[in-house]
Amino acid sequence: MTETPLIGEYSSSPDGTALDGARIGVVTFPGTLDDRDAARAVRLGGGTAVPLWHADDTLSDVDAVVIPGGFSYGDYLRAGAISRFAPLMSRITEAATADSGSPLPVLGICNGFQILTEAHLLPGSMIKNDHLKFRCADQVLRVENTSTAWTSQFTQDELITVPLKNQDGQYVADEDTLTRLEGEGLVAFRYVGSNPNGSRHDIAGVTNARGNVVGLMPHPEHAVEAGYGSDDSTGMRNGTDGLTVFTSIISSLAGSHSEGGAL
Amino acid sequence: MSTESTTRTAQDQSQDPSNDQSGHTPASAFNIDTVEHAAATPETELPWAELGLKEDEYSRIREILGRRPTAAELAMYSVMWSEHCSYKSSKVHLRQFGDKVTEEMTKDLMVGIGENAGVTNLGDGWAVTFKIESHNHPSYVEPYQGAATGIGGIVRDIISMGARPVAVMDPLRFGDIDHPDTKRVLPGVVSGIGGYGNSLGLPNIGGEVVFDSVYQQNPLVNALAVGVMRHEDIRLANASGVGNKVVLFGARTGGDGIGGASVLASESFDDTKPSKRPAVQVGDPFSEKVLIECCLELFHAELVEGIQDLGAAGISCATSELASNGEGGMHVELTDVLLRDPSLTPGEILMSESQERMMAVVTPANAEAFEKVMAKWGVEYSWLGEVTDTGRLIIEWDGETIVDVTRAPWPTTAPSTSARTTAPPGRTSCRPTPSAPPRRGRTCPPPGSSCARPWLS
């Protein structure tokens, strides 16, 4: 495991031992905060992290993309509202909605989820938490859809614990959308225990119908390494439940390569 | 200051300020008190008392300069010699940190007193840098912004050292827990620290709080930032290398935090300009986050020779500190400063405490690469001048010298004063006795001081 450098680009070396050569792009906007954590999670999951810059007009031949958390453009007014117009977001949207058999897998975490809803790659939107406060705590989630590119290695209804940290995390959508999400099984992650922010139907994360685009407010990339994750039964900070998101995408990509492109 | 005698008339009155890229009001709109003019008008009265200087301090300034200061120099001295910048009443106490240090204490010390932040060796080529600073008065006046900009300032100190900031902490002291003013101050302070830090990705990893009536109207808002770096990444602030260029980058300069300078509004002819300016700075954490990444990229590519953040006393302090740490002097053209309020006078520009700004020294060979990094991160910058071998800090306004001082470290030339000390009721002394460990608060902690406090967030 190479160190994630504090300064400079965080990509792993080109001759890294990436499983199946999977190249996962990690997008950095000016105010992105969790890109280094996301890159490290990609590498721990077995992939090669490829830095993508918001102003780039190319996807650099990546096999999947993670849009990490932060405050992409400061987000003083509406989180993600400006980011959706970034040149790179146009390329991501095109590739994620392509008619091909293997549309680009995209994961949006926290601010990344907000950006994906602003870009209309996922339904719904996030508003301020119902208690109006920033909240940072470990959060239990139920994985309710294991057929997406990012959740394939979880078991159905598996309970996982990952950190949650946001102030604008209340998921809202109109009734028709909520009914469709529930009816088609598009709720990927649901809050278990207390609802931390007033999200409709306790929704923590959703997927699109094709299962290539997933967004969630909690942070799986912060629970990938014992000693730095969520608290679990084995000790403080030992939880690595989030790592399965990153091993899932590697395995989905490996599967799609070996099966001739079908995701 | 006599208005008639300081008027400059030779300017082109028809100049359109909107054509001026830096957003400056034409120089003709100000009374420019030049060094030449100051030397010729020794009897001109200056508002030194209104700027917080004492009579003996003003005399000392005249003595150092060998003439009366210009309005801009007076503005600079008033902020550089303020308690905030020079610690003139507390340095007698702070000196103990230097005097009482043993070799054992400093065996892992890599950078000590005098730089933007201290650096300690962690081993394996890693180092950690800490900075703690109080932002008491601003936080009392405007709790959220006062506390938030306290975080902003120390984070820029951490960046200046070449480190990536990773966390913040906040030891706090408030007045009585039941006092209505505590209820006004506390929530803003706590959310200001948390909100600004969080926007930079910095968790608040710890703190402490004590409530005591001695802190009524004078809360202690201390903020600490921690940064991590490799040994080879350590950077120090100095302006070495004659001919190297001086650049100001980050947010534009506005009227923040120059409440004290309003007495210099007599510099201006225009009575309609916004003379009442906010005394507390307003923070923009997004600008700060971009500055962090942009500075780290500059360091990584070795594009800057010296760097200094702008905090208290703004450009005054940054130019003085960079110049006094280097071996030469510095020459700066103040009309090149990018402004967000075109009505600012030279004295106000020098004193402005607008946040999220940095000053760097760059070799001419690296200037183009520097500009590329600025363009990548969308950061505004302006080249202000260059490092000289004159040993003097010279600041010009549209080509005329308004500041000309030796580069001797300003704050250390400030006269010491001794503050009156009184032990609060229930305590026998303000100072710990040598035989007893320091007592914190009363023997019995005041209510609210020793309990679980998730309610603080």
pLDDT, averaged across chain B? 80
Non-local CB neighbours of B188 within 8 Å, separated by 6+ positions: B139, B142, B143, B144, B146, B147
ipTM of the complex: 0.89
Number of domains in chain A: 1
d(CA B270, CA B442): 54
In order of A187, B315, B409, the CA distances from A178 in angstroms are 9, 55, 65
B154 with B263, same domain: the answer is: no
B241 with B306, same domain: the answer is: yes
d(CA B151, CA B139): 11
- Give the CATH number of the domain where residue A189 resides: 3.40.50.880
Amino acid B143: pLDDT:
94
* Window from A206-215, B61-70, B105-114 with minimum mean pLDDT: B105-114
Amino acid B451: pLDDT:
52
Domain that holds residue A218: 19-258
d(CA B327, CA B315): 19
Has B24 been annotated as catalytic? no
d(CA A224, CA A41): 6
Return per-residue pLDDT of chain A as tens, 263 residues: 566 777 777 765 444 444 457 999 999 999 999 999 999 999 999 999 999 999 999 999 999 999 999 999 998 889 999 999 999 999 999 999 999 888 999 999 999 999 999 999 999 999 999 999 999 999 999 999 999 999 999 999 999 999 999 999 999 999 999 999 999 999 999 999 999 999 999 999 999 999 999 999 999 999 999 999 999 888 889 999 999 999 999 999 987 755 444 44
- Give the CATH number of the domain where residue B370 resides: 3.90.650.10
Find, in chain A, the residue whose alpha carbon is nearest to that of B162.
Answer: A7
Q: What is the CA radius of gyration of chain B?
A: 23
B399 with B251, same domain: the answer is: yes
The b-or-e profile of B148-173 (16+ CB within 10 A means b, else e) is bbbbbbbbbbbbbbbbbbbbbbbbbb
pLDDT in tens, B318-372: 887 777 666 678 899 999 999 988 888 888 888 888 889 999 999 999 999 999 9
A contact test, residue of B198, B288, B455 with most A CBs within 10 A: B198
d(CA B443, CA B441): 7
Find, in chain B, the residue whose alpha carbon is nearest to that of A76.
Answer: B286
Q: What is the CA radius of gyration of chain A?
A: 17
Looking at the complex, does the CB of residue A137 fall below 8 Å from at least one CB of chain B? no
Find, in chain B, the residue whose alpha carbon is nearest to that of A36.
Answer: B201
Number of domains in chain B: 2
Contact status, residue B169 vs residue B204, Cβ threshold 8 Å: yes
Q: Both ends of chain A: CA-CA distance in Å?
A: 28
pLDDT in tens, B404-418: 988 654 555 666 666
Domain that holds residue B268: 32-86+236-413
Query: CB distance A134–B198 less than 8 Å?
Result: yes
Query: CB distance A30–B378 less than 8 Å?
Result: yes
Q: Both ends of chain B: CA-CA distance in Å?
A: 49
Amino acid B263: pLDDT:
47
B158 with B177, same domain: the answer is: yes
Amino acid B290: pLDDT:
95
Q: In degrees rounded to 5, what are phi and psi of residue B7? A: -70, 135
Residue B299: which of A7, A33, A34 has the nearest Cβ? A7
Tokens in use for A96? 């994620």
B255 with B285, same domain: the answer is: yes
B207 with B249, same domain: the answer is: no
Q: Go through chain A and tell me how many residues it has.
A: 263
* Window from A254-263, B155-164, B225-234, B262-271 with minimum mean pLDDT: B262-271
pLDDT in tens, B134-186: 888 889 989 999 999 999 999 999 998 999 999 999 999 999 999 999 999 99
Q: What share of chain B is helix, strand, coil (3-state, %, to 5)?
A: 35, 20, 40
pLDDT in tens, B22-37: 555 554 556 788 999 9
d(CA B118, CA B128): 8
Q: In degrees rounded to 5, what are phi and psi of residue A139? A: -135, 135
Which residue of the set A54, A118, A144, A221 is catalytic?
A221
B284 with B325, same domain: the answer is: yes
Instruction: Label residue B16 by pLDDT band (50, 70, 90).
Output: very low
3-state secondary structure of B385: strand
pTM equals 0.86
B259 with B371, same domain: the answer is: yes
